[in-house]
Amino acid sequence: MSDFLDRLSVFFDARIFDHNTGAGFFEAAPSPYLAVQEQHPENADRVRNMHSVLERGPIAEALDWFGAEPATRDDLLRFHTNDYIRSLEAIPANQTHWFSSTTLFGPGSFDVCRVSSGLALAAARQVWSGKAARAYALCRPPGHHAQPAAADGYCFINNIGVAIEALRSEGLQRACVIDWDVHHGNGTQEGFYEDPNVLTVSLHMDHRSWGPDHPQTGMANEVGRGNGIGSNLNVPLPYGSGNVAYLRAFDEIIAPAVRSHAPDILFIACGQDANQFDPNGRQIVDMEGFYQLGRRARALADELCDGKLVLVQEGGYAVSYAAYCLHATLEGVLSRERALSDPVAYMPDHGEGLDAVLAGLTTKRNAALKA
């Protein structure tokens, strides 16, 4: 039994490298004024490093590797609308389509999306069936911005949403998603916003709405709708929040809400773009912070749902450091001492002013629940 509990199933397929997001002015179109264009931040190299650090790093001997079948059309339709899936299928396989100025669907991307969702779905099924205590899916493209009827923020298919809906067809009653990607998990929120049986939690930098493709604000007063009132929890933190803020928010706001919900399984939208070197984030969480988040996720799953824990890869765009932060996260999930040292962390983190920030978030949420 101890060997079973000390291992982690990892789901991976090299076809996720085939989603080609191109190069330009960061995530925008190429500039005619620059001699060197840079890769789009959501590029294959970032997940190549995640894959390699898990294969070569100190936790390698505790990992069991698996592939998965691509998600079927029926799988996708459990979360997404038929018209939306048809719109993805209608994009010619040899063409590039921009859903927004930052969200690129390249040749063959739909097939890669099905592979990515299949990995999350297989990881969830393995844990739900009891074949593994916990699992991690190395998915790409990411999924947490994908709404039931819209692509957004590099995301086309909501991998966690597809996995939860599949498990519900197999007996799952209550689920929880904790999303600590640096950006608001608006797609997952939207998909379950009226559902009292899925608690969606997003811990993110306070970036608000970024346009018509992302109308949700991520503010604390977005608490759910109809029967789902109370089943959405947003924890937007000020820019520059670091380890202390993230861990106190988890302990003081998130964990009590998850306990109250009493899920049968816990999903983590496992992004590392809150790290201190990420080009797409403005927070300063380091490897130790991610390690502690991983430990807390494991402890909460052990306490509430017999250890059933599924982590699904989301963002993380610092090509080297995000991979190290992933390794630290999974060291925490495995309840190991940290064996991979942080080669570059330097930012002091004292959490000044945090009491007022957390109290303000709670006040806004409570006011929305009473409205």
* Bridge partners for 28 per DSSP: 25
Pick the range with the lowest mean pLDDT from 98-107, 293-302, 314-323: 98-107
Q: Is 80 a catalytic residue?
A: no
Identity of the residue numbered 99: F
The closest alpha carbon to 205, from 161, 175, 249, belongs to 249
Mean pLDDT score of the chain:
96
Q: Contact 31/49 with Cβ under 8 angstroms?
A: no
Q: Which residues, 6 or more positions from 247, have their beta carbon under 8 angstroms from its beta carbon?
A: 289, 292, 293, 296
Q: What is the pTM of this model?
A: 0.97
Residue 1: band (very low, low, confident or very high) from pLDDT cuts 50, 70, 90: very low
Alpha-carbon span 79 to 339, nearest angstrom: 39
Residue 326: band (very low, low, confident or very high) from pLDDT cuts 50, 70, 90: very high
Alpha-carbon span 136 to 131, nearest angstrom: 13
237-241 long-range contacts, Cβ below 8 Å, gap at least 24?
A: 237/203, 237/204, 237/205, 237/206, 237/283, 237/357, 238/205, 238/206, 238/357, 239/205, 239/206, 239/282, 239/283, 240/282, 240/283, 240/284, 241/205, 241/283, 241/284, 241/357
Residue 319 pLDDT exceeds 60: yes
CATH number at residue 102: 3.40.800.20
Q: Contact 268/315 with Cβ under 8 angstroms?
A: no
Residue 168 pLDDT exceeds 90: yes
How many domains does the chain fold into? 1
Residue 370 pLDDT exceeds 90: yes
Residue 206 pLDDT exceeds 90: yes
- Domain span at residue 255 reads 2-370
Q: Determine the average pLDDT of the residues in 136-145.
A: 98
Residue 2 pLDDT exceeds 70: no
Alpha-carbon span 270 to 322, nearest angstrom: 11
Alpha-carbon span 359 to 267, nearest angstrom: 26
Identity of the residue numbered 189: Q
Q: Determine the average pLDDT of the residues in 69-87.
A: 98
Residue among 19, 40, 144, 145 flagged as catalytic: 145
Alpha-carbon span 274 to 287, nearest angstrom: 10
pLDDT tens digits, one per residue of 250-295: 999 999 999 999 999 999 999 999 999 999 999 999 999 999 999 9
